[in-house]
A and B are shown apart, each in its own frame.
Chain A
Amino acid sequence: MSNNGNGFEPRIVGFLCNWCTYAAADTAGVSRMKQAANVDIIRVMCSGRVDPTFILKAFVEGADGVIVSGCHPPGDCHYSTGNFKTFRRMPMVEALLEQYGIEKGRFHWGWISGAEAPMWAKLVNEFTEQVRGLGPLDWKRQLQSKEE
């Protein structure tokens, strides 16, 4: 998404697990649910596969917001406990991002099952508006800041 001239269009990266949230996003698409076109989806086999490096890299490379979503714990995970890794890791990522000065509203992690397509569409719309309200993050500009 680029700036369309009169407004800022947030660019959001979504890491979705193959078995639940990606299926929900797929269903939301084929059911023609109305959703903002701001989320670039990256399908991963499990939300537990999402290394914090991926999230940091997304922000450095220009994402204004990041979503990580997988199967509901405790029982939904295709690999039994992959989502346990997610909920042990993500609160720490949240704290890290906050310390870096990246607003809380730019990062969302949670659970959406394959049967919850409307929830995915709702999340996309609400999160896009939330990030739009926060404005561009533009992390590369931080790195190019002038020193005199």
Chain B
Amino acid sequence: MAENGKLKLGLYWAASCGGCEIAIVELREKILDLDAAADILFWPCAMDYKYKDVEAMPDGHIDVCLFNGAIRSSENEEMAHLLREKAKVLVAFGSCAHEGCIPGLGNMFDRQSIFNRVYLETPSTDNPDGIFPQTSYQMPEGEVHIPSFYNTVKTLAQVEDVDYFVPGCPPQAPQIWAVIEAILGGDLPPKGTVVGASPNKTVCDECKYDREEKRVAKFYRPHEIIPEDRCLFDQGIICAGPATRAGCGALCMEVDLPCRGCYGPAPNVVDQGAALLSAVASVVDADTEEEAARIVNEVVDPVGTFYRFGLPASMLHRRKLEEVE
């Protein structure tokens, strides 16, 4: 704590969309309480700070760093190491830092195939000389460098030692506030705990619908069906609720959209995608092998569906690389 008794807080974004920053602003008037209780030392999204300001801090100067975003580039990884040094408590904040999230689906590709798509193949690209980003370039004024783009998106915990995890895409404001209150009160759980979410429930437990374990003869994607007012899973809409940790308040189902799994694997689940796959397979209404194969083959994009928010944190981490460097 600073001499003024205020908590020294740092916030950083790596490979993320900015939604986690919005989630903090979504504290609304409580942000004033946050300001009263904490000095924000570093928050590139909202305030003007330079990396050299952080480098100049003594080690452990920041009390708590909320780090959102996945590790996609060498810059992200460098900042993860730097902030680990400067922060007493490093929190993987939001789904990207926790388990890779949507940027993590890039793990179905590699650097070169992503570059080909982005810099050559998209219909709006005009790049007749086939120029790709270079990590260093000689200018008349000297050599300039940009960060390198990784083959594999990683979670924060895969590159640095993380103290706590706050799940969600984005974390819900009341949960964020509960975490901040816990930090301010010094009421911290054991290292490595997932905070700001349920310790022992799945999204189904919070959902307004009750599952009736109906058999499903056909699976639908959300845009293919107008659901009735009952469990979406029972209607054949793949819902990640059974495999996902509770804590969000089952918000998506409030508007009849299926859970997509952003709060990460349910407590005691090792691999969220494998758990969801099992849950889906268990309702397939088929008593012959042929019928079962026909129904399950209707599931489009199994990896994208079952691991939408957690591919880098899953057991396999990524699609097989054609060539391993």
Contact = CB atoms under 8 A, between A and B. Distances in A.
Interface of A: 51-53, 56-57, 59-60, 73-74, 84-85, 87-89, 91-93, 95-96, 99-102, 137-139, 141-143, 145-148
B325 interface: yes
Contacts of A100: 303, 316, 319-320
Given A73-B289, A88-B281, A96 B315 contact: no
Interface residues of B, number: 40
Contacts of B148: 147-148
Given A51-B278, A53-B271, A95 B302 contact: yes
Interface string B64-88: 0000000000100100000000000
B292 interface: yes
Contact of B284 (A74, A88, A148): A88
B296 A92 contact: yes
Contacts of A145: 151-152, 321, 324-325
Contacts of A85: 281-282
A1 B325 CA distance: 25
B74 A96 contact: no
A137 B288 CA distance: 32
B297 A91 contact: yes
B150 A147 contact: yes
B252 interface: no
Contact of A56 (B108, B315, B318): B315
Given A88-B286, A100-B319, A147-B150, A95 B296 contact: yes
Q: Which 5 residue pairs of A and B lie closest in terms of their CB atoms, listed nearest first?
A: A101-B320, A89-B281, A52-B274, A88-B284, A53-B274
A146 B282 CA distance: 39
